[in-house]
Amino acid sequence: MIQVFYKSKGQILTTSDVKELTENLGFDDVLWIDLYEPDRVETQAVEEFLETTLQSRAQAEEIESSSRYSETDNAIFANTDFISPGPDSYSEESVSFVIAEGVLVTTRQAPLRTITEFQKRMGYSYKLYPTGYHIFVSIMENRVDLDADMIEVMAKEIEKFGRNVNVGAKVNEDFLLDINQMQENTMMVRENIVDKQRIVTALTRSDKFPSDIRPRLDVLVNDIASLLNHTNFNFERLEYLQNTVLGLINLEQNKIMRILTFVSLLFMPPTLISGIFGMNVRLPIFGEEYGLRDFSWIILIMLVSVFVASLLFRKRKSIK
């Protein structure tokens, strides 16, 4: 699907007609072309209009994170991922940006809240978006705001985990898995924000952007840096919480081992006594002939076996 935002009679209009783009509109008219799951005809029409080549989804995903921004003589190419939070884990959707002759082109394969919300806002304050450069920066600002909201939600979830530990809630394997999943989500968010930081920093060095946008880019860089600090703090809290949970589990296991050890000690004397009286040998307490000799041999063999076992364990450093 293609959606073209263009200027006409002091307002921003939209069209999904490919012919109108190629026949009736020019660079001075068009502000933004949004391609959502485009077919070959729509992609080819945009490429002919811009006189440049658009990247496919596979090409955008294969680009290394350190090379997601590039410039040519007449165009700027940027690729990044937008995170969509799910009930358990987060997912990333690739978005490609191309700015040529002041016209912004976005290519995506999934519905994104950032894009949808911004499209609704454009009609209310069209004077704020005179070029595709302004639209691109506004989309990035909106995305960073959503990332900030997402990080705040994650912080509240981490705080909830901490409260559960403090009130003595049940700490088990599922609880640890939830913390681990939260760590994975935090790392994904951090990597995604670092990716945006590289792109915005590269934009500040570009001579193609209008001068009135540069202060906004500087503010955006500072906002992204603060988000990175917040994600780092969240990750440290998760590590601390995970160590606390592991410590509580170890304490619980130690309590169980102490109980088992105490029970074993209680039954050791009766076991020894029953073992001695259950032996099919003559015992001296019953006045049996040679009973003392046989019993002495048994005690000696038992002591030797204990000594040999202890020696073997010490050799293997199993005990100190």
Query: How would you classify the pairing of strands 2-8 and 11-15?
Result: antiparallel
Which residues are 108's β-sheet partners? 36, 95
Residues near 3 by beta carbon (within 8 Å), at least 6 away in sequence = 14, 15, 16, 33, 34, 36, 119
- In this prediction, residue 286 carries a pLDDT of 57
d(C-alpha 46, C-alpha 25), whole Å: 12
Q: Rounded to an integer, what distance in angstroms lies between the CA atom of residue 227 and that of residue 230?
A: 5
Q: Could you tell me the two tokens for 154?
A: 């994650």
User: Which of 30, 43, 10, 32 minimizes the C-alpha distance to 136?
Assistant: 32
Tens-level pLDDT at each residue, the chain (320 residues): 888 888 876 678 788 888 887 777 887 888 888 888 888 888 888 888 887 777 666 655 555 555 678 888 888 888 888 888 777 778 888 888 998 888 899 988 888 888 888 888 877 777 788 888 999 999 999 999 989 988 898 888 888 888 877 776 676 777 778 888 888 888 888 888 988 888 888 888 888 888 888 899 999 999 999 999 998 988 888 888 888 877 877 888 888 888 888 888 777 777 776 676 666 666 665 555 555 676 677 778 778 877 887 788 777 755 45
Asked if 196 contacts 224 with a C-beta cutoff of 8 angstroms, the reply is yes
pLDDT of residue 85: 78
